[in-house]
Amino acid sequence: MLFAIEEINNSTDLLPGISLGYKLFDTCGSIARSVRVALALANGNEAEFVQSETPCTRPAQVQAVIGETSSSPCMAIATVIGPFHIPLISHFATCACLSDKTKYPSFLRTIPSDYYQSRALAQLVKHFGWTWVGAIRTNDDYGNNGMATFTETAQQLGICLEYSVSFFRTDPPDKLQKIIDIIKASTSRVIVTFLSHMDLDVLMYKLSYYNLTGYQWVGSEGWIFDSQTAEMDQHHILDGAIGLAIPKAHVSGMREFILDVKPLNTSGNDMLKEFWEALFSCKFNQSKSSAENQRECTGHEDLSGLQHSFTDMSLMPIFNNVYKGVYAVAHALHNILGCNETCNYKVQLDPFTILQHIRKINFKTKQGHDVYFNENGDPPAKYEIINWQPGENGIVEFVTVGLYDASLPPDKQLSLQNKSLIWTQSLKQVPVSICNEKCPPGTRKVLQKGKPVCCYDCIRCAEGEISNITDSITCVKCPPEFWSNERRDACVKKEAEFLSYEEMMGALLTAASLFGTCMTAVVAFIFFRYRKTPIVRANNSELSFLLLFSLTLCFLCSLTFIGRPSEWSCMLRHTTFGITFVLCISCVLGKTMVVLMAFRASLPGSNVMKWFGPTQQRLSVLVFTLIQLLICILWLTISPPFPFKNFKVTKDKIIFECALGSTLGFWAVLGYIGVLATFCFILAFLARKLPDNFNEAKFITFSMLIFCAVWITFIPAYVSSPGKFSVAVEIFAILASSFGLLICIFIPKCYIILLRPEKNTKKNMMGKGGPKTF
């Protein structure tokens, strides 16, 4: 501050002909002393301002206050002098609460608010993937407000605090011991701190006693670039620490000015003399009776050869903030007084006017630093990211490894040079500090009861669900045509299931169908070969050939049920099946009626065969079949069967099947077949005890019994069978009933034709005691 005032007073460009006066007050970090001094200044007391050469020529009224260093004293001072509109410009008070202009209307600062620092620290922690951290803060406004903002931002970024404790350097030892115990019991390896360097020194002493090393420390600007703290860390507790610092700055002439300070030449400054005595371990004006064995200070000791933070300029960033604060006041006065080559001395100065002008100033220092304040009295927020790295002779070096600029877009605010970082215990790899290992793809996070959101269990995704990112909070359901793979990290296309020719069941059913077709063809060939024999000609050979033809179609229609369903195959399979079976049953029904009519015709005086001759038999078959054809046409017109992908039967497969369209149509087709089969069975059953030469009714009865039994059992089996098995059940029912009709009706006749030809005679057919073979 003295350097800046002297520079301004010697300047011909800024406040020409005007000298700034000052007075120094030491609050010793005490809020009570801060309030006392503030009240004195506001009342006009303690206003004996001093300058280096000549006394003030104008009344010594306070126009502005530079300071204080800490946030809590600043709050106290700003509360007292705020109503008087006296500007208070702090160089190191960072509490975000001081930006509240309703409470602190006259407060400004040249250091960024912790509003930005807290968020920057949270982003820094997030950048390195630390989601499980501990937090320690100073129990004052600086620590409590800064940590509150950090905690809020950390929660938004998914960072959890395992513990958050506070203390003050004057707290009793047992409180510090509790903090040590908490750190020792914790599982987090990163500790975020909002501490002043004085509080950290007290904590570090306790940590050194227990040799608590290996923790990654993340610090605020309160201690991260403090060289005295680094010198005191003999046990390497803070090795590899990383944090935010005020950007490095250089004020030309500052070092030379400080090294040129001579306490004997500075009148009225007892504080400098006291500092000089501590610096060189000597005493001014030591009395002879003094028992202390210390040399006497001359005031001409050489500062340049001294290794001390006062001379190595490690505090230059803070010096620069003070420098900018003094210049801000000077520029405001320059504007108010309308200075050009000279200033207007007649302008009446008052603190409120000065405060208004300070808020509006915008200038560059001689180093090129921009100085201005936003509506909250804060400067632009820029920080350097500092990493403690071991240097030569074990001296810690504060290495700049990145920058944070709050004025940039959110994704560009933080820039880091990860390769140049050194971590705790000189590690090259980023330390890990998480409550749980990350959940791999294929799992989802489930919070552990009673613990923060960062502590969770990894639960495997359910079947049909996946997660393809790390730490997924939900599992996503696969689309209907897809299913989760074994690892549950990708959806794979479901296997299409339908009764195909390639699989064993499809091949066997195809073989059975072709075998039935060939068997029917052989029987038809035999019947055609022996078509003039009595056994073939008996009971309308025309119906027999039509029945064989319909049985061939029945065997072949089962093939339409095998293979991938398509629009045409779905419509064809049920309609073909319905029509061919009705044709088949109609033929059997015709043969049954022929048996009954033939018996009636054998009775004396009966001419019933005249009413049920070949023409009537053909007509009955045609009518019965046309009825089924009409049902099928109506079914196909109103709501035909269609290919359908069934996702409900099995989870991991798509069942390709034919939806019935109209369920009523399907059961109408099946019901009509059932009605004809039942009617045929009843007629055949009634004719089973007719004389021997009309004994074919017994074989029709037996074939119809098999037919009805197959289709009665088909209904529950079809309804309960899943997927392709329902198709297999339907095919089996078709083949079984077809084989039943073929074997029961035609095989006995083939037996006589081929193996017992002597019985295939008209005499045998007409005889009363003929064999019971047909």
Higher pLDDT, 31 or 650: 31
Name residues whose C-beta falls within 8 Å of residue 273's C-beta, 6 or more positions apart in sequence: 263, 284
Question: Does residue 20 contact residue 5 with C-beta atoms inside 8 Å?
Answer: yes
> What SS3 state is found at 301?
coil
Place of tokens 């997660």: 467
How many Å is the Cα radius of gyration of the chain? 53
d(CA 729, CA 558): 11
From residue 532, alpha-carbon distances to 483, 523, 766 in Å are 65, 15, 16
pTM, entire model: 0.67
Per-residue pLDDT at 588 exceeds 60: yes
Higher pLDDT, 708 or 116: 116
Q: What is the pLDDT of residues 109-147, one digit of tens each?
A: 999 999 999 999 999 999 999 999 999 999 999 999 999
Q: What is the pLDDT of residues 611-635, one digit of tens each?
A: 566 777 788 888 888 998 999 999 9
Which of 41-45, 364-368, 424-428, 690-694 shows the lowest per-residue confidence on average (mean pLDDT)? 690-694
Higher pLDDT, 595 or 397: 397
Q: What percentage of the chain exceeds 70 in pLDDT?
A: 90
The DSSP 8-state label assigned to residue 296 in this structure reads E
CA angle 354-355-359, nearest 5°?
A: 115
Per-residue pLDDT at 545 exceeds 50: yes
Q: Which two tokens stand for residue 493?
A: 């296309």
Which of 288-297, 485-494, 739-748 shows the lowest per-residue confidence on average (mean pLDDT)? 288-297
Model confidence band, residue 705 (pLDDT cutoffs 50, 70, 90): confident
Per-residue pLDDT at 693 exceeds 70: no
For residues 528-536, average pLDDT: 84
Compute the Cα dihedral for 758, 760, 766, 768 and give only its sign.
positive
Q: Quick one: pLDDT at residue 309?
A: 66
Q: What is the pLDDT of residues 635-671, one digit of tens each?
A: 988 888 888 888 877 788 888 888 888 889 888 988 8
For residues 12-29, average pLDDT: 87
Ranked by mean pLDDT, the top range of 441-445, 586-590, 665-669 is: 441-445
Q: Quick one: pLDDT at residue 652?
A: 80
Per-residue pLDDT at 165 exceeds 70: yes
> What SS3 state is found at 644?
strand
d(CA 16, CA 739): 124
For residues 670-682, average pLDDT: 86
Q: Quick one: pLDDT at residue 573?
A: 84
Nearest CA to 645 out of 503, 480, 464 is that of 480
Which of 118-132, 263-277, 352-366 shows the lowest per-residue confidence on average (mean pLDDT)? 263-277
Q: How far is the first Cα of the chain from the last one, in angstroms, to the nearest whole number?
A: 132
How many residues are there in the chain? 774
Per the omega criterion (within 30 degrees of 0), is the bond before 68 cis? yes
Model confidence band, residue 313 (pLDDT cutoffs 50, 70, 90): confident
Model confidence band, residue 269 (pLDDT cutoffs 50, 70, 90): low
Q: Quick one: pLDDT at residue 362?
A: 95
Sequence-distant contacts of 369-377: CB under 8 A, at least 24 apart = 369/249, 369/320, 369/324, 371/110, 371/324, 371/327, 371/328, 371/331, 373/108, 373/328, 375/101, 376/99, 376/100, 376/101, 376/113, 377/98, 377/99, 377/101, 377/107, 377/108, 377/109
For residues 731-756, average pLDDT: 87
d(CA 113, CA 193): 16
**Residues 659-688, buried b or exposed e (16+ Cβ, 10 A)?**
bbbbeebeebbbebbbebbebbbebbbebe
Name residues whose C-beta falls within 8 Å of residue 289's C-beta, 6 or more positions apart in sequence: none
Q: Quick one: pLDDT at residue 772?
A: 40
Q: What region does 63 belong to: left with phi over 0, alpha with psi -120 to 50, or beta?
A: alpha
Q: Quick one: pLDDT at residue 71?
A: 92
What backbone phi and psi angles, to 5 degrees, belong to 276?
Answer: -65, -40
For residues 363-371, average pLDDT: 92
Q: Which two tokens stand for residue 232?
A: 């005191």
Question: Does residue 134 contact residue 153 with C-beta atoms inside 8 Å?
Answer: no
For residues 306-332, average pLDDT: 87
Q: Quick one: pLDDT at residue 53?
A: 46
Q: Quick one: pLDDT at residue 290?
A: 55
Q: Quick one: pLDDT at residue 619?
A: 86
Q: What is the pLDDT of residues 446-474, one digit of tens each?
A: 988 888 888 999 999 999 899 999 889 89
Q: What is the pLDDT of residues 49-89, one digit of tens each?
A: 444 445 566 656 788 999 899 999 999 999 999 999 999 99
Q: What is the mean pLDDT of the chain?
A: 86
